Amino acid sequence: MIRQSFHQELMQLEQELIRMGALVEDQLRRAVRSLTERNLVLARQVIAEDDRVDAMEMDIERRCLTLLALQQPLASDLRVVSTALKIITDLERMADHASDIAKVTVRLNQEPLIKPLVDIPEMARLASSMVRLALNAYIHRSIEEAMTMIRLDDDVDHLYASVFRELLEIMRTRPDTVAQGTYLLFVANYIERVADHATNLGEWVIYMVTGQRKELND
Amino acid sequence: MVEKRLTKREGVSTILDIRVQELEVWYGPAKALENVSLHLEQGAVLALIGPSGCGKSTFLRVLNRMIDQVPTVRVKGSVHIGAFNVLDDDIDVTALRRTVGMVFQQPNPFPMTIFDNVAYGPRLAGVRSATKLRQIVEDSLKKSALWDEVRGKLRRSAMTLSGGQQQRLCMARALAVHPHVLLLDEPTASLDPVSTAKIEELIVQFKGRYTMVIVTHNLQQAARVSDLVAFFEQGHLVEMGPTHDIFTAPQERRTEEFLTGRFE
C-alpha cells in the first residue's frame, strides 16, 4: 500500500464516527428512559452531553475537510470522506432530538402522565435499533444491513400514526391534557425524525459501498 | 492527402471524433498496447491515466504517427480520426500532424522569433501573404491567451519567454495550422501552478472546438479538465468512462486500487 499514512487517517476518521454514533444512540436511549422513569437527573445529563456530540461533529468535520484539502481522496476514499461529512450532520440532528426529549422530561417534571407510555418507548426502541444497525452497516460496509435497517422505518411511522391518533383523542375529550399531550406528541415526532435520519445514514452507507445515491425514505 | 480527404468528406472546420479498434503496438518483441478499442466523441477531452509504462504515451503517439519514429515499432488495428484511418500506409504524415496537433511535456519553441514560431506551420503549408500570416499569428496567440503578453514583442526570440509562456506559444503554434485534434503529453509537468492553471483553462475553453487527448500524471488535473478518463495498465485499457464516474465510483478493482494508492 502506497498511501499508508493517509489510509491510517481514514481509519481513525471511521473510528471517530463510530464513537460519535454510539454516543448518539446512547443519548437517545437515555432521553426516552428519563421520560418513562421521570428521571430529571438523567434528563439533565442528556442535555449536557449534547455539547459533546456537537464537539465531535466539529472535530470529524475538520478531519474530513483536512483530508479533502490535503489528500484529495478519490474513488472509494472520496466516498468514505464525503459519507462521513454527511452522516455527522444526521447524527448531530438525532442528538438534538434526544436533547429535546430530555427537555420535555424536565418540563413535565413530576406531573402525572395522562396515559401510560407504551408506544413511545417502543418507537424509541425501534429508532435506537435503527441507529445501531446503521452503524453496523457502516462498519461492515453492508448494503443488506442498511436495507434491513431502512425497512424498520415503516414500523416507526405506523407507531407514530397510532400515537398521534391516541393522543389527539385524549386531548379532544379532556382539554386539561392538551399541554402535556402536545409535549408527548413532540416526543413522538422527535423519535420519528430520528428514524428518518437513521434512514439517511443507511442511504449514505449504500452510497459509500456502491457509489449509487438512492432515496429510500418515502 | 489527409487534408484533401478531410475537406471532401468532412467539411472544412469539422470537429472530428476518434475511433480506435483493436489497436496493438509492439516495440520489438515487447507488446506495449494490447487490443485497445475506444471511441472519443468530437470536441470531448479524454484524459489518459495510469502508472509509468502503462502504454498511455504510446497510445497518444499512435494518434499522430509520432510512434513511427521508434525503429522497431509495429502497429496493428485501426485508428479513425473522422473518416480516415491514420494507420493507412498512404497517409501523408505531415498533413496528419497538422490535423492532429501536439503539445509536449517540455515547451519546445523553435529558436526563432515569437512571430516566426507561430507562422512556421502556415508558411510550410504555403501561406505567403504577410497580411494573412499576421492575422493567423494574432488569432492563434489570442486563442492560446498569450496575445496580451506578447503583442508588442513579436520580433523577440521565443526563448525570452517564461516556461509557461513558451508552452502557450507551443499551443498557438499547433493552433495556427487549424488542427481538428490536440494531443497534450503532460503539458504542465514542467510548469508552476499559475502557468498550469492557464493551460488547464485553455483546455476547458477549447472543449467543443477541438477533440483533445491529454496524458497526465496529475489525477486532479485529469479531474479538472477532462470529460472522459481512460485508465491504462500494462498495455491494457482497463476502464474508460465519464470523469465523474471514474473518480467517484470506478467499476474495475484495478482502477480503484490505482486511484486510492492501494496499488503495488
For the stretch A120-143, pLDDT in tens is 999 999 999 999 999 999 999 999
Distance CA A167, CA A160 (A): 11
* Strands laid side by side in the B84-85 sheet: B30-40, B18-27, B73-81, B84-85
Q: Nearest Cβ partner of B248 from A3, A72, A78?
A: A78
Angle, helix B114-124 to helix B130-143, in steps of 10 degrees? 120
Radius of gyration of chain A (CA): 19
pLDDT class of A4 with cuts at 50, 70, 90:
confident
Q: How far is CA A125 from CA A156, A200, B42, B237, in A?
A: 10, 18, 58, 51
| Closest chain B residue by Cα to residue A79 | B248
Convert the pLDDT of each residue in A21-47 to its tens digit: 999 999 999 999 999 999 999 999 999
Nearest CA-CA distance, residue A141 and chain B, Å: 15
| Residue the block writes with cell 450532520 | A89
What pLDDT is stored for residue B12 in this prediction? Answer: 43
Distance between CA atoms of residues A42 and A39, nearest Å: 5
Mean pLDDT of successive 10-residue stretches along chain B, which has 264 residues: 41 77 97 97 97 95 95 96 94 92 94 97 94 97 96 97 96 95 95 93 95 96 97 98 96 96 78
Domains and CATH numbers, chain A: 4-210 (1.20.58.220)
A3:B248 CB<8 A: no
Q: In the prediction, which pLDDT does B264 show?
A: 64
Q: Where are the domains of chain B?
A: 2-260
State which residue of chain A sits closest to B260, comparing Cα positions. A74
CB nearest A211 (choices: B248, B259, B262): B248
When CB atoms are compared, the residue of B220, B223, B260 closest to A77 is B260
Closest CA to A114 of A180, A192, A183: A180
Q: CB A2 to CB B263 under 8 A?
A: yes
**Mean pLDDT for all residues in chain A:** 95
Residue of A nearest to B221 (CA): A72
Residue A73's closest CA among A65, A196, A211?
A65
Residues from chain B contacting residue A210 (CB–CB below 8 Å):
249
Residues of chain A contacting residue B260, judged by C-beta atoms under 8 Å apart: 3, 73-77
Q: Which pTM value belongs to this model? A: 0.86
What CATH number does domain B2-260 carry, 1.10.40.50, 3.30.70.2340, 1.10.1740.10, 3.40.50.300? 3.40.50.300
- Of all residues in chain A, the one with the smallest CA distance to B252 is A75
Burial (0-12, 13-18, 19+ Cβ within 10 Å), B218: middle
pLDDT tens for A6-16 read 999 999 999 99
